[in-house]
């Protein structure tokens, strides 16, 4: 049975304070993880959610994973083989600019090498999927919690 992961990232301003979240649906369990960064971007938070959730799933022995994300940035980088192209081009884009978030992309590449059965699936955000809605709320809550703690 495949583990299903739902991820999301949020940012208040772009850049600005950001949160990320994931719900991991294991065969016999459900886990959620969240995190916060003080100064970040929405794309970075989307990617961070994917990296951290996949790290956890793999550490729990899960090798068959479907990751659902509403981030075209994350899903397309994997499905359209941008990661491979970036690596071959010395982590430069086709316009010869440095790839943003290289540190997280390299972590993701390393994680993807641990299993041949990891799939990224693009889902439409804010379309009523209960897990996507839940991770959206959790990611935004991380930002709000940081604001409260700052007071």
Active site residues: 8-9, 46, 70, 126, 136
Q: Exposed/middle/buried for 109, CB within 10 Å: 0-12, 13-18, 19+?
A: middle
Residue with tokens 């994997």: 78
- How far, in Å, CA of 84 to CA of 101, rounded? 15
- Strand ranges (DSSP E) for the chain? 3-11, 16-26, 29-40, 64-69, 117-122
32: closest CA among 149, 145, 141, 120?
A: 141
């Amino acid at each position: 049975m495949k583990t299903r992961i739902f991820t999301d990232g949020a940012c208040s301003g772009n850049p600005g304070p950001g949160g990320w979240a994931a719900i991991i649906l294991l065969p016999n369990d459900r886990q959620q993880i969240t995190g916060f960064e003080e100064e970040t971007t929405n794309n970075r938070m989307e990617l961070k959610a994917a990296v951290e959730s996949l790290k956890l799933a793999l550490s729990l022995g899960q090798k068959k994973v479907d990751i659902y994300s509403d981030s075209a940035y994350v899903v397309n980088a994997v499905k359209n083989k941008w990661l491979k192209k970036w690596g071959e081009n010395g982590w430069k884009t086709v316009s010869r600019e440095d790839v943003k978030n290289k540190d997280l992309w390299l972590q993701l590449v390393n994680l993807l090498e641990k299993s041949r059965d990891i799939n990224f699936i693009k889902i439409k955000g804010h379309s009523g999927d209960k897990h996507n809605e839940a991770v959206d709320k959790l990611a935004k809550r991380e930002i709000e919690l940081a604001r409260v703690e700052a007071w």
